[in-house]
A and B are shown apart, each in its own frame.
Chain A
Amino acid sequence: MIKEEYRGTRQWSRNSQAIAIVVWISFLSAAIGTMLFFALFDPVDLTGIFDEDLDIGREAGYAAGFFFFWVLSAISSAVTAWLVRTAPKRDKKRRG
């Protein structure tokens, strides 16, 4: 039997795990979403749709789009993770 002192015992708490997963996976989704979206649309063309006077550059447009996607998918991931983790335990028992 390996004594724990030889082995790294560092483990994240379940909450840290959940936060890390939510942040990371939504980051990946946002990266893909941003890439697809801005391959089709040029932020400079889009700003006019929201507000005629809005005059932000492309780089700000990309960044805004990326953070929009990131926040959106983070909310989705977080709620999903929370619902999965807080699902009634009884169901599990009944299924056996």
Chain B
Amino acid sequence: MKADVDTNKAPGAPMYASAEKIYPREMKGRWDSLSKLATITLLGLFYVVPWLTWDERQAVLFDLPARKFYLLGLTLWPQDFPYLAVLLIIAALSLFFFTALLGRVWCGFACPQTVWTEAFIWMEQWTEGTRSQRMKLDKAPWNWNKLRRKGSKQFLWVTFSLWTGFTFVGFFVPIRELGPELLTFSAGGWATFWTLFYGFATYGNAGYMREQVCKYMCPYARFQSAMFDKDTLIISYDEKRGEPRGSRKRGADPGTLGLGHCIDCTLCVQVCPTGIDIRDGLQYECIACAACIDACDSVMDKMNYPRGLVRYSTEHSMEKGETRILRPRVFVYAALLLLLVGGLVTSMATRTPIILDVIRDRNFLYRELPDGGIENIYTLKVINQRDEARNFRLTVDGVPGIEIDGVSGPVAVDGSGVLSLPVRVRAPADSAYGIMNIWFTVTDVEDPSITMTEDSRFLGPTP
């Protein structure tokens, strides 16, 4: 809708008593378009990605029941957990990096809380109308119109939330099977539970809690100022230009009235989803959504004043008119990021597609054989990370004459399969004493460059 600006008196007539909840006013503008684009892109990704296929399986599937993660062509195993940990550190560092440069863009445009809240506000606007209509509706007694509007809002919210919960679970169990199962109530109990759980969380967070989450519950909102400096992009009100604020007739010269450019229309306050007044300066409630910029620009256009009374700027730019983008903190974050991303990519590119785990049988120290040899028992887990079946040769070394008993020739492991192999390892009596370090090696028969070694202990009698 178009903002109606009455230049003589502040809109939002006093017939609306003190609001119990925040009714953010809708506002069109450059930043609103950007935010819509971000919301549609991010939500689109979320709802579409689980339906994509890659090599006849779900392209992105964190298959928890099978303990395997599929990311496009990549299969990750629990043993690849360090990658996930590094990935999380990279995500955190990126957040620091972008916060130092651009302030709270994450909050304003990319945070799931913002994105889903935005979607829920759209549904609210479709069913209940504009800000003043919503306020009026909430004040009105229950009648057919109110019931119909509130009812359709709830219907949209609940449906959307359930679909969101279903999509979320679809990242963890195959979504094409989950969908029909949920509809016929034959899905597993836990899949159903998590669908409802995530759906309910979405409904509560985006429908009701909204900005309260940012204000009271978000740790990032509290500590983001630590990444800020005077060159960080923030939303600021140009006090020098705006003050003294005051209402005036359209076309009146502010100079002769002794006024600044702020006409005190309070639109910037009305559009604010966290209910602050940006003209009071930077406040930690500000999530940098830029709604107030759009609001103020639209008023400046009407008044024929230049835009940007409220604008994205930096403290330095406001004081001295210039901003330093390249500064030590940005370099440090960027260098750390490059280092980690480089390391992760190299490590992933050069990783061997085979994993060997050795578990020593702890209930069993050692056994002396009739021929005087010493025997220990292990379970070898060979994981083939390739999609096709491979043959592997197992060897053990570290003690003179040590050998694996009962495994002759190579062992076959299915594509993306795990072979759990209990083995007896024997060493001659004269070489096995006390605790000795040994190592198992698994080697691909066809391609000996694919090999992995894992250490273990071999126990013998105390010398």
Instruction: Give the interface of A toward B (CB within 8 A).
Output: 2-10, 12, 17, 20-21, 24-25, 35, 39-40, 42, 57-60, 62-63
* A5 and B19 in contact, given A58-B67, A59-B188 (Cβ under 8 angstroms): yes
Among the listed A8, A12, A59, which residue makes an inter-chain contact with B23, where contact means beta carbons less than 8 Å apart? A8
The secondary structure that dominates the A interface is helix
Chain A min CB distance to B78 (Å): 5
- Write out the residue numbers on chain B whose beta carbons fall within 8 Å of the beta carbon of A40: 78, 81
The interface bits of chain B over 1-41 (1 if a CB of A lies within 8 angstroms of the residue's CB, else 0) are 00000000010101011111111100000000000000000
- Write out the residue numbers on chain B whose beta carbons fall within 8 Å of the beta carbon of A57: 65
A39 CA to B22 CA in the complex, in Å?
Answer: 42
11 contacts between A and B (CB under 8 A): A4-B18, A5-B18, A9-B20, A10-B20, A10-B22, A20-B212, A39-B81, A40-B81, A59-B65, A59-B190, A63-B194
Q: Which 8 A-B pairs have the closest CB atoms?
A: A8-B22, A8-B275, A39-B81, A59-B190, A10-B21, A24-B217, A17-B216, A6-B266
* A59 and B64 in contact, given A2-B266, A20-B216 (Cβ under 8 angstroms): yes
Contacting pair A39 B84 (CB below 8 A): yes
Chain B min CB distance to A56 (Å): 10
A62 CA to B62 CA in the complex, in Å?
Answer: 13
A42 CA to B212 CA in the complex, in Å?
Answer: 37
B383 contacts the other chain (CB 8 A): no
Contacting pair B14 A5 (CB below 8 A): yes
Not counting A7-B272, A21-B216, A40-B78, a sample of 10 additional A-B residue pairs whose C-beta atoms are within 8 angstroms of each other reads A2-B266, A6-B270, A7-B269, A8-B22, A9-B18, A9-B20, A9-B275, A12-B212, A25-B217, A57-B65
- Write out the residue numbers on chain A whose beta carbons fall within 8 Å of the beta carbon of B78: 39-40, 42
* A20 and B18 in contact, given A9-B275, A59-B188 (Cβ under 8 angstroms): no
A2 CA to B262 CA in the complex, in Å?
Answer: 13
Contacting pair B219 A8 (CB below 8 A): no
A59 CA to B191 CA in the complex, in Å?
Answer: 9
A5 CA to B275 CA in the complex, in Å?
Answer: 11
Chain B min CB distance to A5 (Å): 5
B277 contacts the other chain (CB 8 A): yes
A24 CA to B190 CA in the complex, in Å?
Answer: 21
B193 contacts the other chain (CB 8 A): yes
Contacting pair B17 A58 (CB below 8 A): no
- B84: nearest residue on chain A (CB-CB)? A39
- B277: nearest residue on chain A (CB-CB)? A2
Contacting pair A60 B10 (CB below 8 A): no
Among the listed B10, B65, B67, B84, which residue makes an inter-chain contact with A6, where contact means beta carbons less than 8 Å apart? B10
Contacting pair A20 B190 (CB below 8 A): no
- B197: nearest residue on chain A (CB-CB)? A63
Chain B min CB distance to A45 (Å): 10
The interface bits of chain B over 156-188 (1 if a CB of A lies within 8 angstroms of the residue's CB, else 0) are 000000000000000000000000000000001
In this complex, how many residues of chain B approach chain A with their Cβ under 8 Å: the count is 38
- A42: nearest residue on chain B (CB-CB)? B67
Chain B min CB distance to A22 (Å): 10
A8 CA to B209 CA in the complex, in Å?
Answer: 13
The interface bits of chain B over 209-223 (1 if a CB of A lies within 8 angstroms of the residue's CB, else 0) are 101110011010000
A17 CA to B209 CA in the complex, in Å?
Answer: 11
- Write out the residue numbers on chain B whose beta carbons fall within 8 Å of the beta carbon of A10: 19-22, 212, 275
A60 CA to B276 CA in the complex, in Å?
Answer: 45
- Write out the residue numbers on chain B whose beta carbons fall within 8 Å of the beta carbon of A25: 217, 219
Residue with the highest number of chain B CB atoms closer than 10 Å, among A6, A20, A58, A62:
A6
* A12 and B216 in contact, given A7-B269, A63-B193 (Cβ under 8 angstroms): yes
Contacting pair A60 B217 (CB below 8 A): no
Contacting pair A62 B64 (CB below 8 A): yes
Contacting pair A5 B16 (CB below 8 A): yes
Chain A min CB distance to B169 (Å): 11
- Write out the residue numbers on chain A whose beta carbons fall within 8 Å of the beta carbon of B14: 3, 5
- Write out the residue numbers on chain A whose beta carbons fall within 8 Å of the beta carbon of B24: 8
- B190: nearest residue on chain A (CB-CB)? A59
- Write out the residue numbers on chain A whose beta carbons fall within 8 Å of the beta carbon of B12: 5-6
- Write out the residue numbers on chain A whose beta carbons fall within 8 Å of the beta carbon of B217: 20-21, 24-25
Chain B min CB distance to A43 (Å): 9
A8 CA to B21 CA in the complex, in Å?
Answer: 6
- Write out the residue numbers on chain B whose beta carbons fall within 8 Å of the beta carbon of A17: 216
A67 CA to B91 CA in the complex, in Å?
Answer: 26
Residue with the highest number of chain B CB atoms closer than 10 Å, among A7, A8, A20, A63:
A8
- Write out the residue numbers on chain A whose beta carbons fall within 8 Å of the beta carbon of B19: 4-5, 7-10
- B279: nearest residue on chain A (CB-CB)? A2
- Write out the residue numbers on chain B whose beta carbons fall within 8 Å of the beta carbon of A3: 14
Contacting pair A2 B216 (CB below 8 A): no
Among the listed A6, A20, A42, which residue makes an inter-chain contact with B269, where contact means beta carbons less than 8 Å apart? A6
- Write out the residue numbers on chain B whose beta carbons fall within 8 Å of the beta carbon of A63: 190, 193-194
A35 CA to B19 CA in the complex, in Å?
Answer: 42
A57 CA to B229 CA in the complex, in Å?
Answer: 51
A3 CA to B17 CA in the complex, in Å?
Answer: 10
Chain A min CB distance to B334 (Å): 26
- Write out the residue numbers on chain A whose beta carbons fall within 8 Å of the beta carbon of B190: 59-60, 62-63
